[in-house]
Amino acid sequence: MSKKSYIVGFPRIGEQRELKRVLEQYWAQECSFDDVMNIAKNLRKRHWNYQKEAGIAYISSNDFSLYDNMLDTAIMLGAIPKRFRGLQEQELYFTMARGNQNLVAMEMTKWFNTNYHYIVPELSLEDEYKLNTTKLINEYKEAKEYGIKTKINLIGPLTFLGLSKRVDNGDVYELYGKIFPLYEELIKQIATFDENITLQIEEPIFVKDNDAKLLSLIKLSYEKLSTLSKNVAIVVSTYFEHSNEATKILLHTPIWGIALDFIHGSKNLDLLEEIAQSNKILIAGVIDGRNIWKSDLYAAQELLTTIAQSITKERIIISSSCSLLHVPFTLEYENRMNDEIKNWLAYAKEKLQELSLLSKIFFNEALTTEEKEALKNNTIAQETRTTSHRIHDPKVQERTKNIQKHQREGIYTERIHVQKKLLNYKELATTTIGSFPQTPEIRKVRKDFQNGFINEHNYDEEIKRYIRECITLQEECGIEVLVHGEPERNDMVEYFAEQLQGYGFSQNGWVQSYGSRCVKPPFIYGDISRAYPMTLKWSTYAQSQTKSIMKGMLTGPVTILNWSFVRDDIKRSEVSQQIALAISDEVDDLQKAGIQIIQVDEAAFKEGYPLRKENISHYESWAVRDFKLAVSSAWPQTQIHTHMCYSQFNDIIKTIENMDADVISIETARSGNKLLKIFKEVGYKQEVGPGVYDIHSPRVPSVEEIVKQIHLLLEVLPKEQLWINPDCGLKTRKFLEVKQSLSNMVQAVNVVRNELK
Ligand code: GLN
Ligand code: ZN
Of the candidate ranges 121-130, 563-572, 644-653, the one whose mean pLDDT is the lowest? 644-653
Q: How far is the CA of 483 from the centre of ligand 2 (A)?
A: 15
For 137, residues 6+ apart whose C-beta sits below 8 A from its C-beta are: 189, 193
Count of other CB atoms within 10 angstroms of residue 609: 18
Same domain for 681 and 563: yes
**Which residue, by CA, sits nearest to atom 9 of ligand 1?**
603
How many domains is the chain built from? 2
Ligand 1 atom closest to Cα of residue 434: 4
Residues 315 and 430 in one domain: no
Instruction: Tell me the pLDDT tens digit for each residue of 205-232.
Output: 999 999 999 999 999 999 999 999 999 9
d(CA 28, CA 732): 20
Asked if residue 333 is part of any domain, the answer here is yes
Give the ligand at the shortest distance from the Cα of 491: 1
Q: For residue 392, is it within any domain?
A: no
**Residue 711 pLDDT exceeds 70:** yes
Which residue has its alpha carbon closest to ligand 1 atom 4?
729
Cβ distance 556 to 602 under 8 Å?
Answer: yes
Phi-psi sector, 603: left (phi>0), alpha (psi -120 to 50), beta: alpha
Boundary residue ending a domain (352, 387, 422): 387
* Residues 443, 321 share a domain: no
Residues 330 and 447 in one domain: no
The protein residue whose alpha carbon is closest to atom 1 in ligand 1 is 434
Strand partners, 316: 282
- What band does 1 get if pLDDT is binned at 50, 70 and 90? low
Per-residue confidence (pLDDT) for residue 195, from 0 to 100: 94
Question: Which segments within 141-287 are labelled E, that is strand?
Answer: 151-155, 165-166, 197-202, 232-237, 257-261, 281-287
For the chain, the farthest-separated pair of C-alpha atoms sits apart, in whole angstroms, at: 85
Confidence of residue 411 (pLDDT cuts 50, 70, 90): very high
Mean pLDDT of 32-55: 98
Element (H, E) at 524: strand 523-530
Residue nearest to atom 7 of ligand 1 (CA): 603
CA separation for the pair 293, 262 (Å, rounded): 16
Distance of CA 79 to the CA centre of its chain: 26
Distance CA(619)–CA(604), nearest Å, equals 13
Measured from the Cα of 729, ligand 1's closest atom is 4
Question: pLDDT value at position 585?
Answer: 98
Give the pTM: 0.95
On whether residue 488 sits in a domain, the answer given is yes
Quote the ligand 2 centre to 505 CA distance (angstroms): 24
- DSSP conformation letters of 552-585: EEEE-HHHHHHTSEE-SSS-HHHHHHHHHHHHHH
Distance 694 CA to ligand 1 centre (A): 13
- Side-chain-side CA neighbours of residue 638 (13 Å): 23
Neighbours of 591 (CB within 10 A): 20
70 and 42 belong to one structural domain? yes
Among the atoms of ligand 1, which is closest to the Cα of residue 644? Answer: 8
Strand partners, 198: 233
Q: Which ligand is nearest to the CA of 731?
A: 1
Catalytic site residues? Answer: 696
Mean pLDDT value across the chain: 96
3-state secondary structure of 522: coil
Proximal ligand: closest to the CA of 434: 1
Mutational pocket test of ligand 1: of 438, 492, 600, 730, the residue with most ligand atoms within 8 Å of the beta carbon: 492
Between CA 127 and CA 174 the distance in angstroms is 13
365/406 same-domain check: no
- If one residue of 728, 731, 738, 742 were mutated to test the ligand 1 pocket, choosing by the most ligand atoms within 8 A of its CB, it would be 728
Residue 28 lies in a domain: yes
Point out the least confidently predicted range of 104-108, 329-333, 524-528.
Answer: 104-108
What is the identity of the amino acid at 459? Y
Taking the CA of 483 as reference, the closest ligand is 1
Query: By three-state DSSP, how is residue 155 classified?
Result: strand
Contact between 392 and 399 (Cβ < 8 Å): no
Query: Which among 434, 407, 413 has a CA at the least distance from the CA of 689?
Result: 434
Mutation probe of ligand 1 site: the residue of 431, 433, 470 with most atoms within 8 A of C-beta: 433
Question: Phi and psi for 660 in degrees, rounded to 5?
Answer: 70, 25
Using the predicted structure, report yes or no on whether residue 104 has a pLDDT greater than 90.
no
* Cα–Cα distance measured from residue 293 to residue 714, given in angstroms and rounded to the nearest whole number: 50
Average pLDDT over residues 242-263: 98
What is residue 2's predicted lDDT score, i.e. its pLDDT?
Answer: 59
Contact 213, 187 (CB under 8 A): no
The rounded distance, in Å, linking the Cα atoms of 106 and 121 is 7
d(CA 707, CA 723): 13
DSSP states of 382-427: HHHHHH-TTT--HHHHHHHHT----S-SS-HHHHHHHHHHHH-PPT
| Ligand that lies nearest to the alpha carbon of residue 598, given by its number in the listed order | 1
For residue 375, the tally of other CB atoms under 10 A from its CB is 18
Measured in angstroms, how far is the CA atom of residue 723 from the centroid of ligand 1? 17
Same domain, 649 and 580: yes
Does residue 680 contact residue 717 with C-beta atoms inside 8 Å? yes
Indicate whether 357 and 419 sit together in one domain: no
Atom of ligand 1 nearest to the CA of 553: 1
Atom of ligand 1 nearest to the CA of 603: 8
601 CA from centroid of ligand 2 (Å): 8
Closest protein CA for atom 6 of ligand 1: 729
DSSP annotation string for 657-688 = HHT--SEEEE--GGGTTGGGHHHHHTT--SEE
Q: Write out the residue range of the structural domain in which residue 26 sits.
A: 5-387
Distance 728 CA to ligand 2 centre (A): 4
Q: For 81, left (φ over 0), alpha (ψ -120 to 50), or beta?
A: beta
The enclosing H or E element of 641 equals strand 639-644
Residue 249 lies in a domain: yes
Last residue of a domain, one of 387, 413, 448: 387
- Residue 674: the pLDDT is 78
What are 4's strand-pairing partners? Answer: none
CB 261 within 8 Å of CB 114: no
Between CA 449 and CA 464 the distance in angstroms is 14
Handedness of CA 725, 728, 731, 734 (dihedral sign): negative
Q: Tell me how far the alpha carbon of residue 720 is from its chain's centroid.
A: 36
Query: Facing residues of 691 across strands?
Result: 725
- Is residue 323 within 8 A of residue 8, CB to CB? The reply is yes
Q: Is 253 exposed, middle or buried (0-12, 13-18, 19+ CB in 10 A)?
A: buried
Q: Considering 387, 418, 446, which residue would you say is the last residue of a domain?
A: 387
Cα 428 to averaged position of ligand 2 atoms, centre (Å): 20
Q: Rounded CA gap, 170 and 619, in Å?
A: 32
Protein residues whose CB sits closer than 6 Å to any atom of ligand 1: 433-435, 486, 492, 553, 601, 603, 643, 645, 728-729, 731
The atom number, within ligand 1, closest to the CA of 645 reads: 8
Atom of ligand 1 nearest to the CA of 489: 10
Contact 674, 696 (CB under 8 A): no
Could you give the 3-state DSSP secondary structure of residue 44? helix
692 within a domain of the structure (yes/no): yes
User: What type of residue is 495?
Assistant: Y
Ligand 2 centroid – CA 397 distance (Å): 32
- Do 239 and 207 contact (CB within 8 A), yes or no? yes
Q: How far is CA 674 from CA 264, 431, 570, 650, 670, in A?
A: 36, 23, 41, 11, 10
Please give the span between the terminal C-alpha atoms of the chain, in angstroms, as a whole number.
Answer: 80
CA of 728 to the centre of ligand 1 (A): 6
298: number of Cβ within 10 Å = 14
The reply to whether 505 and 442 lie within a common domain is yes
Per-residue 3-state assignment (H helix, E strand, C coil) for 97-149:
HHCCCCCCCCCEEECCCCCCEEECCEECCCCCCCCCCHHHHHHHHHHHHCCCC
Strands 523-530 and 500-504: antiparallel
Whether the CB-CB separation of 273 and 299 falls below 8 Å is answered with no
> d(Cα 755, Cα 753) in Å, to the nearest integer?
5
Q: Is the sign of the CA dihedral 668, 670, 672, 678 positive or negative?
A: negative
Phi then psi dihedrals of residue 52, to 5 deg? -65, -45
Please check whether residues 215 and 361 belong to one and the same domain.
yes
297 has a pLDDT exceeding 60: yes
Residue 363 has pLDDT above 60, yes or no: yes
For ligand 1, atom 3, which residue shows the shortest CA distance? 729
Tens digit of pLDDT for each residue in 666-700? 987 776 677 888 998 999 999 999 999 989 888 89
Q: Is 409 within the bounds of a domain? A: yes
Distances (CA, A) of 127 to 6, 95, 105, 181: 38, 19, 19, 15
Nearest CA residue ID for atom 5, ligand 1 = 729
The rounded Å distance from CA 373 to ligand 2 centre is: 48
Rounded to whole angstroms, the Cα distance separating 408 from 440 reads 40
Is residue 362 in a domain? yes
For residue 438, give the ligand nearest its CA. 1
Q: Pick the atom of ligand 1 nearest to 643's CA.
A: 8
What distance in Å separates the CA atoms of residue 713 and residue 750, rounded to the nearest whole number? 15
Res 648: pLDDT: 81
> Per DSSP, what are the bridge partners of residue 232?
197
Other Cβ atoms within 10 Å of 335 Cβ, number: 9
Which residue, by CA, sits nearest to atom 8 of ligand 1? 603
Query: How many residues are given for the chain?
Result: 757
**Is there a single domain that holds both residue 371 and residue 403?**
no
CATH number of the domain residue 173 falls in: 3.20.20.210
Count of alpha carbons within 13 angstroms of residue 470, beta-carbon side: 32
Shared-domain flag, residues 559 and 581:
yes
- Ligand 2 geometric centre to CA of 17 (Å): 28
Which one is predicted more confidently, 437 or 646?
437
